[in-house]
Amino acid sequence: MAETWHFINTGRRDPYYNMAFDEALLNFVSRGEIDPVIRFYTWDPPTLSIGYFQRLEKEIDIAKVEEKGYGLVRRQTGGRGVLHDKELTYSVIVPEAHPAMPKTVTEAYRIISTGLLEGFKLLGFDAYFSVPKTKEERDKLKQPRSSVCFDAPSWYELVVEGKKIAGSAQTRQKGVILQHGSILQDVDIDDLFDMFIFKNKRLKDKMKEAFVEKAIAINDLSDKHVTIKEMEDAFYEGFKNGLNIEFKPLELTEAQIQEVETLCEKYKSQAFLYRK
């Protein structure tokens, strides 16, 4: 019999709210206030999010981000910079002790991402997990790459026609796993790379070329235009199928809504954005 998890689609929200809501959900699950939960959301304005450990001023051209009118926010998960624009973003929040969750990050990532895999299949794509097979491929994963996410598949990354199609990051805090990530509908590669700092133009061009070779968006692959609504429907069913769960709607209490609002201030703060 399928387990029932919470589901919520918060729609288009600003970057601070989006990151605050994910952290709040982690807190609610940690305190046992809600069951495991899956959330869908989009971004207004389109936003560059940077990983928790990224050095903002060294890696990001902040003036260029502002000039282009993008938001800028730091995530609580690791990884590299992601431009959240034409995409569906998902988050999965589940206790580490959940019987379906393996102890290792990599294996838990594979289990959670099965929901994404099934969603891509429902959209008609031949998706699969990338698993580095040779020692050379495994060693490559340990090498530092650019500050831009999506520039190479890693363990159990979702791949369609040899290209990475969804980028995810995971953190474990307070006995809870939070995995969130981007499912690209379309991507503006020029805008993305303009916002990162490179040593020189040659390196920038080389990295951009590598990105085009390794990453792809849904509408680059599809014969027809796939809408966000179609993506939401497919991945809603995909997570149900992949994780063998049913959904019940999540409605927050007044106290929980207030907690989200309070956390928004953290993500708006210069202290968090510029943290060393």
**Distance in angstroms (rounded) separating the CA atoms of residues 165 and 159:** 6
Give the number of other CB atoms < 10 A from CB of residue 209: 11
Tell me the pairing of strands 157-160 and 163-173.
Answer: antiparallel
**Known active-site residue 264:** no
Taking CA 185 as the corner, what is the angle to CA 237 and CA 79, rounded to the nearest 5 degrees? 90
**Distance in angstroms (rounded) separating the CA atoms of residues 230 and 222:** 13
Q: Which one of 82, 92, 127, 149 is the catalytic residue?
A: 149
Q: For residue 178, how far is the Cα from the chain centroid?
A: 10
**Distance in angstroms (rounded) separating the CA atoms of residues 155 and 170:** 13
Write down the residue that tokens 């849904």 correspond to. Answer: 218
Tell me the pairing of strands 176-184 and 245-249.
Answer: unpaired
**Distance in angstroms (rounded) separating the CA atoms of residues 9 and 249:** 9
CB within 8 Å of 248: residues ≥ 6 apart: 4, 5, 6, 7, 35
Give the number of other CB atoms < 10 A from CB of residue 33: 13
Helix count and strand count (H, E) for the chain: 11, 11
* DSSP bridge partners of 19: none
- Cite the active site residues: 149
